[in-house]
Amino acid sequence: MTTNAKRAEILVRALNAGVERDRGAIVGTYTDDVRAWTPASSTTSLTELMAEFDRRDDAFSGIELEVAPLDVGGEYACVEWSVSMTHTGRFAVAEGMLVEPTGVRVTLNGVTVAEFRGERICSLRQYWDEFSVFEQLGLLHVDGDA
């Protein structure tokens, strides 16, 4: 039986593997039929998830990930996370629209919920505010008086 602490450790390893593009660690932490959903994508297999990681552009560098595992029960693990990164490459924000590097350091906060089958992740959901990156890069202006 896998403990809450062990599941949280595996989830943290999986998140780090995604940031570092560590294919071996990704394959070792997810089931072949893993389902994943984020504000930016949805996949139904490890093959599709790997393709999503491969499609990621190099718009951001100096990526630093901080995680805080939360205590949950059953076959789940959950972590709150914060990722800081510097905009150093072209960033695709829409079909055909690219933002040139700004050098701005941005921070994104979110939560990841994972369901396990044994010691591997079979389902993953990530939640974050995608517009916060646009706002920090100066692409989106929020008027507090509106």
Instruction: Fill in the amino acid letter for 112.
Output: T
User: How high is the mean pLDDT of the chain?
Assistant: 90
The 10s digit of each residue's pLDDT in 90-111 is 888 777 788 899 999 999 999 9
The CATH code belonging to domain 4-136 is 3.10.450.50
| Structural tokens at position 29 | 């932490």
What pLDDT, on a 0 to 100 scale, did the predictor assign at position 144?
A: 58
The distance from CA 92 to its chain's CA centroid, rounded to whole angstroms, is 17
- The answer to whether residue 49 scores a pLDDT higher than 70 is yes
Strand intervals (E) in 10-135: 30-37, 42-43, 60-70, 76-87, 91-94, 97-99, 105-117, 120-128
The residues, any chain, with a CB within 8 Å of residue 115's CB and separated by 6 or more, are 75, 76, 121, 122, 123, 124
What pLDDT, on a 0 to 100 scale, did the predictor assign at position 22?
A: 92
Instruction: Give the 3-state secondary structure of residue 132.
Output: helix
| Structural tokens at position 141 | 């202006």
Q: Are strands 105-117 and 120-128 parallel, antiparallel or unpaired?
A: antiparallel
What are the structural domain ranges in the chain? 4-136
- The answer to whether residue 113 scores a pLDDT higher than 60 is yes
What pLDDT, on a 0 to 100 scale, did the predictor assign at position 92?
A: 81
Measure the CA–CA gap between 116 and 125, rounded to whole angstroms.
Answer: 12
